[in-house]
Amino acid sequence: MPENKLPEATAAPPSAATPKPKRNPKLPRQHLPLLDPELRATTPREVALGFTEEQARLEALRCLDCRDPKCTEACPLHIDIKGFIARIVEGDYSGAFEVINRQNPFPGICGRVCQHELFCEKACLLGKKLEPVAIGSLERFAADFQRQTGDPRLPALPPPNGLKVALVGSGPASLIAAYDLVRKGYEVTVFEALHELGGVLAYGIPPFRLPREILREEIERLGKLGVRYRRDFIVGRTATIEELLEQGFSAVFLGTGAGLPHLMGIPGENLIGVYTANEFLTRINLMRAYEFPAADTPVRVGARTVVVGGGNSAMDAARWAKRLGSDVTIMFRRGRAELRARLEEIEHAEEEGVRFEFLAVPVRLFGDENGILREMECIRMQLGEPDESGRPAPVPIPGSEYRVPVDTLVMAIGQSPNPTIQRATPQLITNRGKIVINESGQTSLPRVYAGGDVVRGGSTVILAMRDGRAAAEAIDRALAGERRSEPAAETHRHSCSEDGAPQRVVAKRMLTPEIAWLEVEAPEVLRHWKPGQFVIIRPKPDSERIPLTILGGDPEGGTIYIVVQAVGKTSRETVELEPGDRIASLLAPLGQPAAIEKVGHVLCVAGGVGVAEVLPVARAFRDAGNHVTALCGARSRNLMILDEELRAAVDELHWATDDGSAGFHGTVVDLMRWWRAGKAASPDLVHVIGPIPMMRAAAELTRQWGVRTLASLNPIMVDGTGMCGGCRVTIGGKVKFACVDGPEFDAHEVDFDELWRRNSAYIPQEKLVLERMLSSSRA
C-alpha cells in the first residue's frame, strides 16, 4: 500500500482480517490547519481547525508503538497514549475516544489547551531524533470525532455509596475530581461563584483557543453523570466550609484557582485604559464584550495597546486586542527565550500582527486631564544572574528610559489565590496566599482538601487536573470506612442537574418613577449578610454585573431587600423586574461588613439613592448602643425615599432638598454645616454614602471637624469577588480592591478624583446600550 494512502476509516474496530497499516516514523509531522490570519482579526472563531481524518491517521502512523511508552508516564493524567493512537491507526476513532476517556473526561478541552510540548510530546521517543508525534492534536481529533457522532459515551456508574462531596470552584481541578468521584458512587456538588461554569477555562481562555460549545458540552457531560452544579455561590460568603460539612458533605475540595491579579506597582496604574489581564479577559470572554453593544459589558481598546507579560494570558489579551482593532505590542522584561507562553500561541500572535518588545518594562504611566492613559515611560533591561525561578533576572539599565504613546495597557504579570476563603476560614494554613496541603492533598482542616492553582499559584490546566485527581483518590481512601452500598436506583444520575435558590422577585414597590425597592428570594444570602455588604446582580443574560447594597431582609421568608435606581441599561432592566421574574444571576453577600462599634454619637450622611443604602448601617449603629443622627439629601420632595423607615431606625433625621421643596434648602453638605453649627460638640464618627462629589465634599468638611469618617464606595465592578481588579481604588496612596477590601474605607484617604474618573470611564458606552434599549421599546 502506498504510504500516502489509507484504508477506509470506521467508527468501530476493524475485523481481524483487516491488514494493519504499516507504521512509518519518517512521515512528516502533520500540522493543524489554521484560520487565515487576516480573517482571524475579524472573528473570535477557533484558529486551529483540527486534523482531517487523513492527517490524523498519517500522524498516528508516525508513532513508534513503544514497548515502554514514556509519553504515558509523562502525561499528568497517565492517558494510554499508545493505546488511543493505535485505535486511530486502525480507523477506530470511537475506540480511541474511549481509551482517552478512561483517564481524561475532557479530551476536547485538553486537546486544545494542554501544553503537550512540556509533557507527553517532550517525552516522545521519536522526538529524540525527529519531531515528536502530535499527541495533543490526535487527542483533540478523537474528541471532535466522537462529538460529531452525538454519542457522549457515558461510563457505567456504581450504585450510590451514600456520601456527598463538595467541590469549590468549577475549574479544571474540581471538574476532574467531580468525574472521578461520581464514578466511585459519590454524590458530587460543584460550587461556582460566577454565572458560567469552567473557572479559568471560561473567563481566562478565549473562544479562538477553546470554543465555548466544547467547554459547555464537556461540562454538561458531567451533569449527565449526575454531578450537581451551584452557580452564583461563593464559598466563604454564601456558606462557609464548616457549614458545608455541617450540611452533610463528607469532604470538601478547594479548587478555587489563582484569581487575584498582580499589579505593577507603578504610578498611573489606575488610569482609565489600564487593565489587569483578568479584568480584560473576563470582560471579553465571560461577559462577551467583543459582542458589544449586543452584550452590555464594554471594554476600552484604543488605537495602541501594550500588553505587559510573557505568558499565555499575555498572548490571549494581545490577540483579543488585535481582534478589537488595536495596534498591539507585547512588552516583556526578559528575552524571547524566557517567554512562558506556548510556542504555538507566540507564533499565532505574530502571524496576527502582534509585535514583541523584549528587555523592557513600564515604570510610569501618564494620563490626560480626564485621567485617560496616553503615554508610558519604560526602561531597558539586561539579563543578569538567575533568580529563584531559574531564569536570568532582568536588571534595569540606568539612563535607558524612553517614552511610548499608548491608549490601552494590560498587566498580564501573574496572579495569586483569591483570599476570600482564607479570610472566612482563618484556620487554613497558607503560605504567601497559597493553601498548604500535605502529601495526600489535605489542608490543615480535617476533611478539607485543595489542589490546582490555589495551592500552586498560577500554573497549567493539566497540572491542576492532576491535583484534582490526586485529591479525589485521597478523599476516596479517607472515606473508605464510611461508604455504604445502596441499591442502584434512578436517582439524580444521567440527568443534567443544576440546583440552587430560585432568585426570583417576590415583591416590588416603586419609591419614585425611577427607583424600585425589590424583595428577592435568597435565603442563603440573608443568613450571612451583615450591614454594609452588597450583591452583584445580572438581571438578564446579556446584562452587566452591577453591585447593589443589601438593605436587609425577611428571615422567615428567606428574602433580601435591594433598592435600585434606573440610570443605565442594566439598572433599568433591574427596576423593570416584576414579582415572579427570575434574575439571571445574583451573587452575595460580598464585601466587608460595615465597621459597627459603640462610639457614642454617629452621624450618617446620605444623598440620592445612598439614602436607602445607609439605612441598614444606621440601624446597626443604633442597635450597637449609639445615638444616631441621619442627614439625607434629595433633589426635591418627591425624591425623598424611605423616610418612614429612616425615622424608625435613627434618633434624629433631617432632610435637605436642592430646590427647597422640603426640609433644609440646599445640599446635604450644606445641611451638615447647618446641623454642626447648632451642636455643642462634633459627632464621634461620620458615615457617608452617596454620589462621589457629595462624599468628597462631606469628607473635606469632616476633615476640618477633625472627625473620623468612613465612606462606602461603589466603583465599577465585573466579578465582585476580587478576581478582576476592576474595582481598584486608591486609599492613602495604596491600591485596594473595593469588592474584597471594602466597600467601606477611611474617607479622608480616598482619592475621590480618581474614583470619579474611573466611574466615568464607560459613560459613552452606557449611553449607547441604553439608547438601543429605549429605541427597541419604542419600536
Nearest 5 degrees, angle CA 328-CA 332-CA 334? 155
User: What gap in Å lies between CA 163 and CA 188, rounded to an integer?
Assistant: 9
Rounded to 5 degrees, φ, ψ at 285 are -75, -50
User: What gap in Å lies between CA 289 and CA 201, rounded to an integer?
Assistant: 17
**Greater pLDDT, 156 or 10:** 156
pLDDT 10s digits, 456-480: 988 899 999 999 999 999 999 999 9
Answer yes or no: is pLDDT of 737 > 70. Answer: yes
Is the peptide bond prior to 426 cis by the omega test (within 30 degrees of 0)? Answer: no
What confidence tier does 152 reach under pLDDT thresholds 50, 70, 90?
confident
Q: Which of 283, 276, 106, 112 is nearest to 194 (CA)?
A: 283
Answer yes or no: is pLDDT of 504 > 50. Answer: yes
> Residue 573, SS3?
helix
Answer yes or no: is pLDDT of 153 > 90. Answer: no
pLDDT 10s digits, 257-303: 998 999 999 999 999 999 999 999 999 999 999 999 999 999 999 99
User: What gap in Å lies between CA 104 and CA 430, rounded to an integer?
Assistant: 30
Mean pLDDT for the chain overall: 94
Q: Which of 114, 152, 118, 160 is nearest to 136 (CA)?
A: 114
Evaluate whether 193 touches 181 at the Cβ level (below 8 Å): no
Answer yes or no: is pLDDT of 758 > 50. Answer: yes
pLDDT for res 10:
43
pLDDT 10s digits, 527-542: 999 999 999 999 999 9
What confidence tier does 496 reach under pLDDT thresholds 50, 70, 90?
very low
Evaluate whether 602 touches 617 at the Cβ level (below 8 Å): no
Answer yes or no: is pLDDT of 14 > 60. Answer: no
Answer yes or no: is pLDDT of 642 > 80. Answer: yes
Answer yes or no: is pLDDT of 487 > 50. Answer: no
pLDDT for res 47:
97
Answer yes or no: is pLDDT of 17 > 70. Answer: no
> Residue 361, SS3?
strand
Angle between helices 135-149 and 81-90 (to 10 degrees): 60
Mean pLDDT of 311-318: 98
Domains of the chain: 37-149 (1.10.1060.10), 164-260+417-498 (3.50.50.60), 261-414 (3.50.50.60), 505-590 (2.40.30.10), 601-763 (3.40.50.80)
Answer yes or no: is pLDDT of 375 > 50. Answer: yes
> Residue 241, SS3?
helix
**DSSP, res 480:** G
Nearest 5 degrees, angle CA 360-CA 361-CA 366? 130
pLDDT for res 387:
87
> Residue 188, SS3?
strand
Answer yes or no: is pLDDT of 9 > 80. Answer: no
CA distances from 113 to 119, 177, 221, 308 (A): 13, 19, 19, 22
pLDDT for res 498:
54
User: What gap in Å lies between CA 544 and CA 283, rounded to an integer?
Assistant: 9
User: What gap in Å lies between CA 534 and CA 743, rounded to an integer?
Assistant: 9
pLDDT 10s digits, 121-130: 999 999 999 9
pLDDT for res 501:
53
Q: Which of 15-19, 92-96, 149-153, 539-543 has the lowest mean pLDDT?
A: 15-19
Q: HSE, CB side, 13 Å, CA atoms: give it for residue 670.
A: 13
Query: How many CB atoms within 10 Å of residue 484?
Result: 10
CA distances from 278 to 135, 209, 353, 413 (A): 30, 16, 23, 10
Evaluate whether 596 touches 625 at the Cβ level (below 8 Å): no
The pTM for the full model equals 0.94
pLDDT for res 151:
82
Q: What percent of the chain has pLDDT over 90?
A: 90
User: What gap in Å lies between CA 741 and CA 765, rounded to an integer?
Assistant: 28
Residues composing the chain: 779
Q: Any idea of the CA torsion for 231, 234, 240, 245, to the nearest 10 degrees?
A: 30
Evaluate whether 722 touches 740 at the Cβ level (below 8 Å): yes
Answer yes or no: is pLDDT of 408 > 70. Answer: yes
Mean pLDDT of 319-327: 98
Answer yes or no: is pLDDT of 15 > 90. Answer: no
